[in-house]
Amino acid sequence: MGSKHPFVTLLLISLFVLDVATDIATGIELILNDHHGWGYLVLALVIFPVFVSIVAELLRGCIYSGCCGEATTDWIPLIFYHLYTVIMMIGSDCNYQWEQESHYLQAIQGFLQSGPQIVLQIVIIFRGALIHSFRDTTKTLLEDGLTFEFFSDKSLGWYWGLIQVYSLVFSMLSLLQTSIHFNEWPKRRHTIHRFLLIVPFFLTTMIYRSMALALLLIFAGKMALLPIFAIITAQVITYNSLALDLPRSLAYGICSLIVPMGYTRCRDPDSQPFGLSLLPGYTNRFEGTCPGEGDRSPEQVDILRERSKCFLAMHAILGGGILGISLAIIYLLVNFTEVFNPLSAWIIFNHYTLSDSIFPFIAADYLVALVLTGLFTCCIGRCFEEEYIYPV
């Protein structure tokens, strides 16, 4: 999070390594448990940031330095993306250029690996593609309920079989940290009362959107791409109408599928790549010397603050509405038609669990997220007015 405290840096590195390691372990265990397709898909998402970072670097080099310039060599370290990111994080406390580089790479990993991984892991679990220990735990939970005695006599190897749970938890923590880091950490002050609001705000938004998307993918299959495309399109259009350039509107709109991203970021792609604000007089490999963080007028701050409010409101209401309508249709099809009978062919939960637990939980979580969004947008211009200073 841009901290100069080695302990905080160590925690961030540990979270990054554990997130990647548990994803890889989950993919391998799924393959060993004869869930080959799911396992390879999990591993593909681990590799996905490598591909994205290399393509982004090649495009960046061609645009800003010419195809025969830096673009010919700067992408090479990104072949070892995860190791390279850890090295940048280790050096971030000593070198500001490495700090900015680590921020950029962590953002790619959080939004393009951890986010999709959360949805994929929920889909895998709901479809019943479970590793042995987790399969026993889920079966006991659905049939008899879990007790302390169930876990008391298990071996250490048995607990390793819960790797799917560890992977899901670390992916959620990674996306939560990335969301706070990218959207909120550059502000002038870090007050406790602001973080007591933004942490549950991001967490509840992440949970209801991930579970809703997972259910859509399970029951609607390829048709789930229609509401997903509608949400992304609405987010891209909103960003573009709020004065962001089209490339950044596309990047932020796509990455905001699960949690809102970039609503506090600048609009100038030349001086601030990926929206990352830089220090006065600093020159990095993305561009020349950029303006300082303090070069902002009261009018700019007010415009950025209003832009944040508008996008957050759209993200909660329109995105939730599209997902809500889609889930309502699935609810009706599950409970009042024969489309998904037998239900066990689609999901491990029965009608009772789906109707009385899963769907109500998503609805309740969305309502909580909606309330927190309202509080957050109100506090941006009131309670957080002094510390909520945006990078421009």
pLDDT in tens, 343-375: 888 998 888 889 889 999 999 999 999 999 999
Between 36-45, 259-268, 373-382, the lowest mean confidence (pLDDT) is in 259-268
76-126 pLDDT per residue, tens: 888 898 999 999 888 877 777 778 888 888 999 999 999 999 999 999 999
* pLDDT average, residue stretch 185-210: 85
Confidence grade of residue 276 (pLDDT, cut at 50, 70, 90): very low
- Residue 279 pLDDT: 33
Q: How far apart are CA 285 and CA 288, in angstroms?
A: 8
Q: Which residues of 52-89 are buried (b: 16+ CB within 10 A; e: fewer)?
A: bbbebbbebbeebbeeeebbeebbebbeebbebbbbbb
- Residue 152, pLDDT > 60, answer yes
Read off the pLDDT band of 232 (50, 70, 90).
very high
How large a percentage of the chain has pLDDT more than 70? Answer: 83
Rounded CA gap, 107 and 119, in Å? 18
Instruction: Inform me whether the pLDDT recorded for 339 exceeds 70.
Output: yes
The answer to whether the bond into 342 is cis (omega within 30° of 0) is yes
Per-residue pLDDT at 12 exceeds 70 = yes
In 221-279, which ranges are continuous DSSP H helix?
225-241, 246-255
Residue 281 pLDDT grade (very low, low, confident, very high; cuts 50, 70, 90): very low
